[in-house]
Amino acid sequence: MDKDLIKGEFTEKGLIEELLKPVEKPPPRPWWVVLAVGGALTLAWLYAILVTFLRGLGTWGINQPVAWGYDIVHFVWWIGIGHAGTLISAILVLMRQNWRDSLNRLTEAMTLFAVLCAATYPLIHMGRAQNFYWVFPYPNTLAMWPQYKSPLSWDVLAILTYLTISTLFLYLGLIPDLALLRERSAGWRKRLYGWLSLGWTGNARHWALYRAVYVLLAGLATPVVISVHSVVSMDFAYGVVPGWHLTVFPPFFAAGAIYSGFAMALTLIIPLRRWYRLESVITERHLDWMAKVTLASGLGVAYIYLLEIFIAWYSGEPAEWAQQLWRMTGPYAPFYWAMMLINVVLLQTLWFPRLRQNLTWLFVFSLLANVGMWLERFVIVVISLSHDFLPGSFHLYQPTWVDWTLFLGTIGFFLFGLAVFIRLFPPIAVAEMVHLYHRLRGH
Amino acid sequence: MLYGYMAYFSEPKAFLAAARRLREEGFRFEAYAPNPVEGLKEALGDGKEPVPWVAFLLGILGLGLALFLQVYASLDYPLNAGGKPVLGWPAFIPVAFELTILTITLGVFLYLLYVTGLPLAWHPVKHAPNYVEVLLDRYGLFVPVTEARLEEAASLLRALGAEVEEVRRA
């Protein structure tokens, strides 16, 4: 059944030529559109960051009691998206799932840019971003150290570890491909690939060690994926705010991360495979499997939505139950019910092969799931904070144009970064695919 | 200047057999392939990779550093947070875990570079005229000029069905 993971008859060389096309041939027209739109939004993003630095956090909509607004919503959203990359790469390599080989490069690149986008939010949310290094343990004249019993301290290390591992994992996978590109290109590209490939020769002993290190890193990246979003969830669960103080948060966030990560991967891969004519290596079967993982992780999320309602009632804690009613009937109720509609009701369409295998619906659903997961983070961060213990301090949150620009700007930077990446580096791991090609032929 | 001989194979099976034969005959050679070849390690007579043990030791190091950091920071600047004990070790687990993994990842990557000798600015094999093919779809055995029975190795490789070419600086 794995036989049709590579569709069509290819010689080994033909397959490689096919996979190198996105890098070696002129890009298709949509690439320019993505690059231009992404670049423009990136500039707008830089402008919004400049405004934040020059005029301060007063330009944002955050206030008391909603001190965490769009910045934290988007931080969690991006970190979640960043999870599918490493998940596809690492967990599936450990489980020897052959369908990962077509997808890992793109999703790992997605991870890298998503985590970069995420990391900017806490940085600029500090207000005095120039003092960011205060989060690190360094000897200082105040004789102070970070508080290591606080999840915010854990978060710093979890995110940085994740960023390091996912970058290294992506880079390690690229090295053999870079060596091939080095030999096939000329001019500045040859220099770039020459430097980045570290002079990889294809020596068999190097290959053996390389594979051992690669599989080991996959094994290490797997628990890190789970741990990162669990730690992010503890930023909330450690607090006493109604709607946050739940022990179920770590698995809830991990499931949500996988769900949103796969949704974003589908959003990117479905148009890309058409623009770049990658149908022979990213087949309907790949997309079907991704849709199934989306369904499975989405069901975990949906279950915990329902569990949250039950726990709020069963806890007997008036503030918790009031928070739940506020979500369902308060001024933010449309957000809550839209989230339920997408992540609980529409999710069920993926049970049906006819709908799941319909690429138009799968693409539309993946976009909706991204929106749904954005709404989930909005529900958790903003709605919970707006309605805590004291009725006198209840207050609604209204984002400003700076908040919106910072959000759209990261989307632009994400697209811009991916467009540049695909132009320079093969979007499908060539060496991995050749390895798969041989395994499918029993070599 | 002659750097050696490069023998090309199109099929992994013939390549493996030739590598085994060259090793049995006691020749000095290097094997090149576009992807990891099953069974090549045995053909070259290599043992198991010590990577897991290296990783384990790095993990112990990382764990030790992480626990030291947290214990030291807590004792040097004690904070009473919600009446929790100063050395409340369960709270140290997340940071200990992340730093353990971080140390192993960086350490193993550096170990890979150290053992393979990468980054490598130059290697004689890159002067083989068709070198790009061993990164693409063929398999290569390179016999360096330092091998005493160089011509004998080249004719053996030819007899094994390889396409053999001289590797020279242009």
pLDDT tens, residue by residue, A181-224:
988 888 898 899 989 989 888 888 888 889 889 888 888 888 88
B-chain residue closest to A222, CA distance: B101
Instruction: Kindly report the nearest CA distance between residue B133 and chain A, in angstroms.
Output: 9
Listed residue (B45, B4, B9) closest to B140, CA to CA: B9
Instruction: State whether B34 and A211 contact (CB < 8 Å).
Output: no
The predicted structure's pLDDT at residue A20: 87
Say how far apart CA A418 and CA A243 lie, in whole Å. 35
CA distance B38 to B26: 22
Q: Concatenate the DSSP letters of all residues of A123-170 into one string.
A: HHHTS-GGGGGGGS----TT-----TTSHHHHHHHHHHHHHHHHHHHH
Q: Where are the alpha helices (DSSP H) in A56-103?
A: 70-81, 83-86, 92-94
Q: Which residues contact A125 (CB under 8 A, 6 or more apart)?
A: A57, A71, A72, A75
Q: How many CB atoms lie within 10 A of CB A383?
A: 23
Counting beta carbons within 10 angstroms of the beta carbon of residue A157, is it exposed (0 to 12), middle (13 to 18) or buried (19 or more)? Answer: buried
User: What are the helix and strand counts (H, E) for chain A?
Assistant: 18, 0
Facing residue for A220 by CB, picked from B88, B101, B125: B101
> What's the rounded Cα separation, in Å, for the pair A85 and A136?
27
SS3 content of chain A, % helix, strand, coil (to 5): 75, 0, 25
Return the exposure string of B58-89: e unless at least 16 CB atoms fall within 10 Å of the residue's CB, then b. bbeebbeebbebbeebbeeeeeeeeeeeeeee
- Closest CB to A164 among B19, B70, B102: B102
> Going residue by residue through chain A (443 aa), what tens digit of pLDDT does each one get?
466 777 777 787 888 888 888 888 888 999 999 999 999 999 999 999 999 999 989 999 898 888 898 999 999 999 999 887 787 778 777 777 778 888 888 888 999 999 999 999 988 998 888 888 888 888 888 888 888 888 888 988 998 999 999 899 899 989 999 998 988 888 898 899 989 989 888 888 888 889 889 888 888 888 888 888 899 899 999 888 888 988 899 999 989 998 999 999 999 999 998 998 888 888 888 889 889 989 999 999 999 999 999 999 999 999 999 999 999 998 999 999 999 999 999 999 999 999 998 999 999 999 999 999 999 999 999 999 999 888 888 989 999 999 999 999 999 999 999 999 999 999 888 888 888 887 777 66
CA distance linking residue A172 with residue A216, whole number of Å: 12
How many C-alpha atoms does A381 have within 13 Å on its Cβ side?
23
Q: What pLDDT, on a 0 to 100 scale, did the predictor assign at position A264?
A: 93
Residue of B nearest to A198 (CA): B119
Inter-residue contact B143 to B28 (CB < 8 Å): yes
**Bridge-partner residues for B8, per DSSP?**
B140, B163
Which of B36, B52, B73 faces A137 most closely, judged by CB atoms?
B73
Distance CA A396, CA A61 (A): 10
Q: Can you give the pTM of this predicted structure?
A: 0.90
> For A106, phi and psi rounded to 5 degrees?
-60, -45
Q: How far apart are CA B53 and CA B56, in angstroms?
A: 5
pLDDT of residue A5: 76
A179, A197 contact by CB (below 8 A):
yes
Instruction: For B82, name the nearest residue in chain A, comparing CA atoms only.
Output: A149
Answer yes or no: do B98 and A224 touch at CB < 8 A. yes
- H helix or E strand, kind and range, residue B2: strand B2-9
* pLDDT score for A3: 66
Q: Which CATH architecture best describes the domain A12-441?
A: Up-down Bundle (1.20)
The domains of chain B, with CATH numbers, are 2-45+123-168 (3.30.70.120), 50-116 (no CATH)
Report the SS3 class of residue A277.
coil
CB < 8 Å to B91, chain A:
148-149
Asked whether the beta carbons of residue A223 and residue B101 sit closer than 8 angstroms, the reply is yes
Nearest to A76 by CA among A218, A244, A221: A244
Domain ranges of chain A: 12-441
Q: Which of B91, B98, B122 sits opposite A149 (nearest CB)?
A: B91
Would you call A440 exposed, middle or buried from its count of C-beta atoms within 10 A (0-12, 13-18, 19+)? middle
Q: How many CA atoms lie within 13 A of A47 on its CB side?
A: 13
> Which member of B95, B125, B136 has the closest CB to residue A201?
B125
Residue-wise pLDDT tens digits, A71-106: 999 999 999 998 877 877 787 777 777 788 888 888
Is residue B111 within 8 A of residue B59, CB to CB? The reply is no
In chain A, the N- to C-terminal Cα span, in Å, equals: 17
- What are the DSSP calls for A221-274, one per residue? HHHHHHHHHHHHHHHHHTS-STTT--TTHHHHHHHHHHHHHHHHHHHHHHHHHH
Element (H, E) at B165: strand B163-168
Q: Do A220 and B41 touch (CB under 8 A)?
A: no
Do A13 and B137 make contact, defined as CB atoms within 8 angstroms?
yes
The backbone region for A186, taken as left when phi is positive above 0, alpha when psi lies in -120 to 50, beta otherwise, is: beta
φ/ψ (deg, to 5) at A244: -110, -30
Q: How many CB pairs under 8 A join A and B?
A: 179
* Geometric angle at alpha carbon A110, from A105 and A113, rounded to 5°: 125
CA distance B128 to B133: 10
Rounded to a whole number of angstroms, the distance from the CA of A157 to the nearest CA of chain B is 7
Residues of chain B with Cβ-Cβ distance to A220 below 8 Å are: 55, 101, 104-105
Which residue is closest to B142 within chain A, CA to CA? Answer: A203
